[in-house]
A and B are shown apart, each in its own frame.
Chain A
Amino acid sequence: MKITDHVKRLDVKEKINGSLRYIEDMRFDDLHYARTLRSTIPKGKIISIEYPPPEKGITIVDASDVCHKNEVAMILKDMPIFAEDTVNYIGEPISLIVGKDKNQIISFINKIKVNYEIFEPTLTMEDSQSKGDILTEHTFSLGSFENLEYDERFERTYETGYQEQLYMEKQGVVGAMEDGVVTVYGSMQCPYYVLNALKYALNKEAHEVRVIQAPTGGAFGGKEEYPSLLALQVAVATMKLNKPVRLVFDRREDMAFTTKRHPSKSYIKTYIKDKKIVGMDYEIHLDAGPYLGLSDVVLQRAIFTMNGCYGFENSRVNGKTFKTNNVFTGAFRGFGAPQSMYALELHMNQLANYLNVDPIEFRKDYFVHKGETTSTGGIFNEDIYLEEMADALIALSQMHHRKEEKHIGYGVSFIPHGGGFTGDGEAVHIKAEVHLKKVKENIYILISNVEMGQGAITALSKIVASVLDIDIERVLYAIPDTFKVPDSGPTVASRTTMVVGGLLAKAAEKMKARMDEEEVLIVEHFKQPDYVVWNQEKLHGNAYMAYSWSAIMARVHVDPVTYEVTCTDIYGVYDVGIPIDEKLLLGQIHGGVIQGLGYGMLERMTSEGGQIQHHSFSNYVIPTTEDIPNIHAKWIENRFVDGPFGAKSVGELTLVGVAPAIASAIEDAIKKEIHSIPVTPEKILEAIHEN
């Protein structure tokens, strides 16, 4: 087959006909269930736990059962598997109550009383700052503000709230002892992250622990680092009981206590001279919750592209993560960029409005080009077509044929999104390895990247089949199992098609010459392109190998009576290199637009006293088909030399630009500024009432 051929999604048949067994449907002999005893206070010391008298059929699993280290190995090891003496957020796991009868477990757990000495929690980033609880901080700059000449300064502060991934399938894992091996099955994005956490906490070698990915019904980052915690818990439980133990969250549990998108606050100061931007000073704060987790990486991705699609003569970027006693925040599609790009792009529109210039023409003066310097002092190594994309957006949206319409507003955004790990992360930390194996007529893809609904199996199989020019049916994808597949890295950072697909394409090229052999194994390792120069300590150099780009325009109607917003249209022009598959690309665009729309105008999630308030479907609202706008998408082709067939990243990009475009469109419709998302009708009313 050819890469330009259309293919059917390879994973959907079983999903649609219902025959696929997710972790909750999988059968195990003598299966036990686990339910989590959780902290009910945001911060305190556990004085005692009053368990009811021991019962036959009930086992308590807690920190005392962890045989080596009660630590979840992520970037730091600051999070315990089970809280021991102290608790640091509401919902923090203290123990698992395990048994075969769910009714018995629930009635047992209802009788447990935990006595705490309650400490004053830190619930806001301001409070955290005043206590000096900054977890991490980074600053970098270009030019200087010292003797900067300017006429005026335009300053704004922007806030974003939590966003919940709301994958259809909730978090779930099973731990089982199989032939003496501690085995964890689970809904996850990163089997090797889980494996490494198991090896570390249980002091095991790679052959003593095994991780097998179960079909994963959506993830969006929510199953990046969080499953490590759950896997450790069931591993400890199965080692204690010597029985399979299943831990699957209830939806409310999942919504209230698992990682979500970091709430943020951004402070932007723009220095203007002769109606032009001469400098931009930008600061972003993220609420990390009680443990660092991936928050510093999220912060880095937020600040690396803080300058967006623009080159400013002088820029300063500062970012901080704060420790609080709110829920633990983490990975979510976009990884920091939805927060920083919301702030920047809304700011750009507000600036254009303030200077009374067209928001697209205004931006063109600052668009970056190949060979220019990035905000981290690297060099844009690729062809960049922002002007062309802007013109394509104008044409696609028929901007010049707009009629004056009441209560209608338009907003735009221009977004860069780097594919793969930042800086030299792919080469230094991930070191991806892929195997391509030929056994008779079939070619097996052996990697640790997972299908989670995004279409990875289809895209990767298509790449291999196209290089080899064989039917896609002959390419088979092996379910990630750490006993069987190499570590090709996590399924995150929009890297799977671009980076792992790139390695598979190279492996397939090598396979090509050996197609007449019965059995062949090709092993391919990641090699960093020469143009990537990076200093992680100084955060200096090429933050990304390549960027994908989007130009988006939103059209909204704001009801003058009810302030309800209808996003009628989203126009999007994308540069994702060369799409591996146009239908898969459209799928990502549609999904990204919808999730971005939720983030921008619907999905309000707040925390009171450390407790997530919106933790059920009846008050945390994601878009339904009735809320979905007409989506008009176009893409330009811009071959990326190091991507498979010229492809760059897609997955996250499609979400990032939507919220700022919609927020700006709402401002355009009501002629008021609103500085936080989601822009709910309540906020619109408040803005209108302000004067």
Chain B
Amino acid sequence: MINSYRPTTVEEALQLIHQKRCHIFAGGTDLMIRKRQWQGAERKFTQPVVFINGIDSLKNIEETDTHYIIGALVTQTEMAESHLPEYIRVPYAQMSHPAIRNIATVGGNIVNAASVADSIPILLALDAEVTLQSVEGERTIPLGAFILGKYKTVRKDNELLTYIHIPKKNYNAYYYKKIGQRKASILSKVSVFIVHHKLDEIAITIGAVNPMVIRSVQLEKQFIKDHSIPDLIQGFKAILSGVNDKRSTKDYRETVAINMIKTYLEGVINEL
């Protein structure tokens, strides 16, 4: 017999996950699939399940002078329909399909930490930080430090991801392209996200190629200085390590990632 709990406050949830190792259940769109065994049979949950979607305080998008603060339980639909900048809204609007977007949460996508998770390239490029809370305290760390690898994070069992902080920047243009095996409702086989302000400030991430999202602040800085696309491409090529799998090939992922970055930035430079 597996117990399940429906806390309505963060404190309640923290107590529960402190006492015992639990499955934290937000939208459940990853969890339900991972735990399935046979349609009509129970999911193979081995720990108590804590349904956190009753915690209303984590469902808001707020704003300070410097940051957007996103509650972990904000859904993808709410992100897509929010007043956030377009370069945040559009990627969320392209995830999965409406039924899933209506329940899938921002926090779930991050904590799940799949290599194909579409929000991570965006949040990483935007220097987002995440807040983790437990009965023992609270810490806010950069997203890059939170994710250790494919499906691996530094979250401790008794910690709840509560907020995502996205710094406000004065980016005035962006490029986002997610490529899947078809046009919609599909996981990424490669994605590229670029946000920039002219060529004074730029962030570039590549998703779904390496086990972890690729971002190189060093290459970005160099590019701001020299505007050299060949050097930038050379730099990225050295860190790409795609794989052949059921969805695509190493060659395709790497070539297309490079093609996209190159084509977009050539366009930007031409316009300058």
Contacts and interface: CB of A to CB of B under 8 A. Distances in A.
Asked if A pairs with B, the answer is: yes
B37 interface: yes
Interface string A614-625: 100011010111
Contacts of A614: 246
A562 B182 CA distance: 12
Interface of B is mostly: loop
Interface in B53-90: none
B140 interface: no
Contact of B260 (A105, A562, A682): A562
Interface in A95-130: 102-103, 105-106
Interface string B185-202: 111000000000000000
Contacts of A250: 38-39
A453 interface: no
A469 B178 CA distance: 56
Nearest to B247: A619
A451 B160 CA distance: 52
A672 to B, nearest CB: 16
Given A619-B246, A624-B183, A106 B41 contact: yes
B118 to A, nearest CB: 14
A60 B246 CA distance: 35
B179 to A, nearest CB: 6
B44 to A, nearest CB: 8
Contacts of B182: 602, 621, 623-624, 626-627
Contacts of B187: 618
A35 B263 CA distance: 52
A686 interface: yes
B46 to A, nearest CB: 13
Interface in B207-256: 246-249, 251-252, 255-256
A136 interface: no
A288 to B, nearest CB: 24
A106 B259 contact: no
A562 B177 contact: yes
B183 A106 contact: no
B183 A102 contact: no
B8 interface: no
Interface residues of B, number: 27
Nearest to B250: A682
Nearest to A251: B39
Interface in A649-691: 680-682, 685-686, 689
B40 interface: yes
B41 A102 contact: yes
B259 A562 contact: yes
Contacts of B260: 561-562
A588 B223 CA distance: 54
A165 to B, nearest CB: 18
A626 B184 contact: yes
B136 interface: no
B58 to A, nearest CB: 28
A594 B255 CA distance: 29
Interface of A is mostly: mixed
Contacts of B186: 618, 621
Contact of A561 (B38, B180, B263): B263
B4 interface: no
Contacts of A103: 41-42
Query: Chain A CB within 10 Å — which of B37, B39, B181, B248 has the most?
Result: B181
Contact of A685 (B42, B184, B246, B251): B251
Interface in A582-630: 602, 604, 613-614, 618-619, 621, 623-627
Contacts of B183: 566, 624, 626-627
Q: Size band of the A side of the interface?
A: 20 to 34
A250 B184 CA distance: 24
Interface in B13-62: 37-42
B256 A561 contact: yes
Contacts of A613: 246
B38 A102 contact: yes
Contacts of B252: 563, 681-682, 685
A102 B40 contact: yes
B37 A562 contact: no
Contacts of B39: 248, 250
Contacts of A681: 179, 252, 256
A133 interface: no
Contacts of B251: 682, 685-686, 689
Contacts of B256: 561-563, 681, 685
A220 interface: no
B185 A105 contact: no
A562 B179 contact: yes
Contacts of B180: 621
B177 A621 contact: no
Contact of A106 (B38, B184, B247, B255): B38
Nearest to A252: B36
Interface in B69-118: none
Interface in A56-86: none
Nearest to A606: B246
Contact of B181 (A33, A602, A626, A686): A602
A182 B239 CA distance: 64
Interface of B: 37-42, 177, 179-187, 246-249, 251-252, 255-256, 259-260, 263
Given A102-B38, A102-B41, A106-B38, 19 more contacts: A102-B40, A102-B42, A106-B41, A561-B259, A561-B263, A562-B179, A562-B259, A602-B181, A604-B181, A619-B247, A621-B182, A621-B186, A623-B182, A624-B184, A627-B184, A680-B181, A681-B179, A682-B249, A689-B255
Interface of A: 33, 35, 102-103, 105-106, 248, 250, 561-564, 566, 602, 604, 613-614, 618-619, 621, 623-627, 680-682, 685-686, 689
10 contacts: A106-B38, A248-B39, A250-B39, A561-B256, A561-B260, A614-B246, A621-B181, A623-B182, A625-B184, A626-B183
